[in-house]
């Protein structure tokens, strides 16, 4: 297993590591990366629009969105690595003898933590969804397809991260805590999926408008 952080790998190496018989990177880190790419596309749309006379009325909004999107992108890249650390810690505990008194408590603790990382990804996607919605309304018409791609990537990331919450919550002995984690996951899905779908649909409608 490479000691290099997953977020530092090239696209080719990340994909190869993902395809290998290794626990990291996995679905959780990939969800975080997909969301980071969605946020990056939001930044791209804003960066190409900023400074254009036709969109001068949105200069302040574009500058604000660019700062926020960069913050989100960097946080999501950090979550790629955070997910990998969590998985590695879990692998170490799984390797303990089944009669080791530390094993059960440590597994429970790490499974709770393993829900936290994908929930954090979903939280960042929630922030990105607002920016993508606004960017779709204020960026250059030449860039709306990138906004739509960003929305679709974030949508996939949101749903992928939710699966990681569900699988880890399912393994918890503390069912009350598990229900709370799943409820938080569901709330983020309910909040963000419609917005991302709406943003992507608006882009599609705009691009098909010339037919």
Tell me the per-residue pLDDT of 36-93, one tens digit each, with 9 for 90 and over: 999 999 999 999 999 999 999 999 999 999 999 999 999 999 999 999 999 999 988 8
110-143 tens-digit pLDDT: 999 999 999 999 999 999 999 999 999 999 999 9
pTM summary value = 0.94
In a domain, 6, yes or no: no
Q: Which of 154, 111, 167, 139 is nearest to 43 (CA)?
A: 139
Work out how many domains the chain is built from and give that number.
1
pLDDT of 163 over the 90 cut: yes
CATH of the domain at 101: 1.20.120.680
Following DSSP, what letter does each residue of 77-144 receive, concatenated? HHHHHHHHHHHHHHHHHHTS-TT-THHHHHHHHHHHHHHHHHHHHHHHHHHHHHHHHHHHHHS-GGGH
In a domain, 94, yes or no: yes
In a domain, 10, yes or no: no
pLDDT, mean over the chain: 95
Which residues constitute the domain of residue 176?
A: 26-205
In a domain, 210, yes or no: no
In a domain, 154, yes or no: yes
């Amino acid at each position: 297993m490479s000691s290099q952080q997953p977020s530092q790998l090239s696209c080719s190496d990340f994909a190869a590591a993902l395809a290998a018989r290794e626990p990291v990177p996995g679905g959780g880190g990939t969800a975080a990366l997909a969301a980071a790419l969605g946020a990056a596309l939001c930044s791209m749309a804003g960066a190409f629009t900023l400074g254009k006379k036709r969109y001068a009325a949105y200069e302040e909004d574009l500058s604000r969105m660019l700062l926020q999107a960069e913050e989100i992108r960097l946080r999501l890249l950090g979550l790629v690595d955070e997910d990998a650390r969590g998985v590695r810690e879990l692998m170490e505990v799984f390797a303990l003898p089944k009669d080791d008194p530390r094993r059960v408590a440590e597994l429970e603790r790490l499974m709770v933590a393993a829900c936290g990382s994908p929930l954090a990804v979903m939280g960042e996607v929630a922030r990105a969804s607002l920016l993508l919605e606004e960017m779709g309304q204020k960026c250059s018409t030449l860039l709306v397809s990138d906004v739509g791609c960003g929305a679709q990537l974030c949508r996939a990331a949101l749903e992928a991260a939710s699966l990681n919450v569900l699988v880890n919550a399912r393994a918890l002995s503390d069912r009350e805590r598990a229900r709370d984690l799943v409820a938080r996951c569901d709330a983020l899905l309910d909040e963000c999926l419609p917005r991302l779908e709406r943003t992507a649909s608006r882009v599609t409608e705009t691009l098909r408008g010339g037919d």
